[in-house]
């Protein structure tokens, strides 16, 4: 149940960012849900391989290159999903940063109070 809620909250964040950022667009909420699922799969399957292959560059740049890796993942989602588009790598970096911020805000609402 939490997984579905997290996907829906990520889709909501994608829709919000598509309204805020002029170079990012989604056709519908269903497209945003598909974007959320595909981003999750790409982050799970492809991102670890890219991080391992680019580890020397990431170390040399003190981790800043990870922003470009996140942008590449978003551009891959743009390539695979019809109805979702991101202008260029700079918009993808900004989208990535804002998506992470919005996800952390929205996911913080999911946390339950644990009573000891």
Number of domains in the chain: 1
Residue 17, domain member (yes or no):
yes
Q: Whole-prediction pTM value?
A: 0.88
Residue 116, domain member (yes or no):
no
Residue 45, domain member (yes or no):
yes
Tens digit of pLDDT for each residue in 66-76? 999 999 999 99
pLDDT for the residue numbered 111:
77
Residue 114, domain member (yes or no):
no
* Residue recorded with tokens 């804002």: 98
Write out the residue range of the structural domain in which residue 83 sits.
Answer: 2-107
Tens digit of pLDDT for each residue in 32-90? 999 999 999 999 999 999 999 999 999 999 999 999 999 999 999 999 999 999 999 99
CA distances (Å), origin 56, targets 12, 49, 50, 63, 112: 35, 13, 11, 10, 39
Coil vs helix vs strand at 112? coil
């Amino acid at each position: 149940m939490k997984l579905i809620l997290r996907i829906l909250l990520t889709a909501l964040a994608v829709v919000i960012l598509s309204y805020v950022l002029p170079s990012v667009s989604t056709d519908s909420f269903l497209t945003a849900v598909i974007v959320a699922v595909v981003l999750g799969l790409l982050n799970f399957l492809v991102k670890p391989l890219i991080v391992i292959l680019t580890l020397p560059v990431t170390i040399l740049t003190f981790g800043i290159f990870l922003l470009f890796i996140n942008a590449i993942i978003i551009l891959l989602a743009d390539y695979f999903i019809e109805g979702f588009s991101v202008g260029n790598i700079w918009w993808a970096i900004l989208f990535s940063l804002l998506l992470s911020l919005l996800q952390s805000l929205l996911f913080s609402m999911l946390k339950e109070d644990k009573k000891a």
